Amino acid sequence: MEIFKDYKYIPRKVIETKEEIEAKHLSISDNQVELDFNIRDIEELIERIRPLNQNELKIFSYQLKSRELQSLILYMPENHYNIELWKINEVIKTRFKKKNI
């Protein structure tokens, strides 16, 4: 049974799905923004968000650059400045509604 020692069975559908994912997401790395962010920039951004109400947050979310939005997303799990997280969530939800994607 040494013939089957290096044999691996991979179903055709798994291979097709893998190729489809790779084809669809090939250009993602071209548009990636750097993952690091300046702590002072995020602090200023948080201070701008803090006094806003829900309607103002929706307007504010469209004024953000993609880098600022990404900084907010990366900041959210840590929440060093104790902002109400629903505000950041509202900004993210508003920007990434299904019709905007």
pLDDT per residue over 22-32, tens digit each?
777 665 544 45
Express each pLDDT in 43-94 by its tens digit. Answer: 899 999 999 999 999 999 999 988 888 888 888 888 888 889 899 999 999 9
* Under 8 Å between Cβ of 91 and 57: yes
Instruction: Please report, as a single letter, which amino acid is at residue 100.
Output: N
Long-range CB pairs of 84-89, under 8 A, 24+ apart, other chains included: 87/49, 87/50, 87/52, 87/57, 88/49
Distance of CA 14 to the CA centre of its chain: 26
pTM, rounded to two decimals = 0.57
